[in-house]
Amino acid sequence: MLIVWLLAMLSTSQAGPQDKFALRCDVQAWYDEVAQMALLSRTPGDIDTIHSVFDTDDVSFVDADGHRHDWTESRARAVQALQEPAADQMRQVMRDVKATADGATAVVLAVTVRKVIDNEGRYGHAGASHAVATAITYHDTLVQSGTSWKLKTREQVGAPETLVDRLPKELEGSRCGS
């Protein structure tokens, strides 16, 4: 009986280093796909496609103030954001990932970069061109759906950070690193 219990405990124990590395690379590859698709989105139909491929039907988003938003509200915001200048670069870099019974949780730094002409001189000389990066940290809950991942919840952690003519250090490392 003791052996059965030990085998059960070993089979439910934390994933080893190799498994965590594989999980990290698999989930980071998923985030890279999401970022690339979001960067290419130009229409409400594109937003709907991203939702159907990468989100659960009941996905929810929690803002920095703790307010929960369902897909209908989030879609409306995403469609409205299509009116803004398109991003030049978008990345989502995991800071941490942990396996769960039905998927994973991840802490992610999402960075969007846009080139701007600073007519007002807010970032230096008026009329100069700058790369403005907006960095937001999220805590995500992902579930596995067949062989792919789907976002179940995304919770914003803190306020966005604005960086001018520089990028966060997380963008300098490898995509799935250790």
Q: pLDDT tens-digit profile of 87-135? A: 999 999 999 999 999 999 999 999 999 999 999 999 889 999 999 999 9
pLDDT surpasses 80 at 171: no
Q: 51 lies in a domain?
A: yes
* Domain contains 1: no
Q: How many domains does the chain have?
A: 1
Residue 177 lies in a domain: no
What integer pLDDT is reported at residue 114 of this predicted model? 94
Q: Give the pLDDT confidence of 54-83 residue by residue, as tens digits.
A: 999 999 999 999 999 999 999 999 999 999
Average pLDDT over residues 32-53: 95
Is the CB of residue 121 less than 8 Å from the CB of residue 98? Answer: no
Q: Is residue 59 part of a domain?
A: yes
Could you tell me the pLDDT band of residue 177, with boundaries at 50, 70 and 90?
A: low
Q: How confident is the model at residue 14, as a pLDDT?
A: 44
**What CATH number is attached to the domain comprising 32?**
3.10.450.50
50 within a domain of the structure (yes/no): yes
The pTM (predicted TM-score) of the whole model is 0.84
137-141 mean pLDDT: 98
DSSP string, 54-108: HEEEEEEEE-TTS-EEEHHHHHHHHHHHTTSPPPSEEEEEEEEEEEETTEEEEEE
pLDDT at 5 over 60: no
Q: What is the pLDDT of residue 147?
A: 86
In-domain check, residue 123: yes
Its domain, for residue 45, covers: 16-172
Q: Which candidate, 110, 105, 75, 109, places its Cα nearest to that of 90?
A: 110
Q: Is residue 3 part of a domain?
A: no
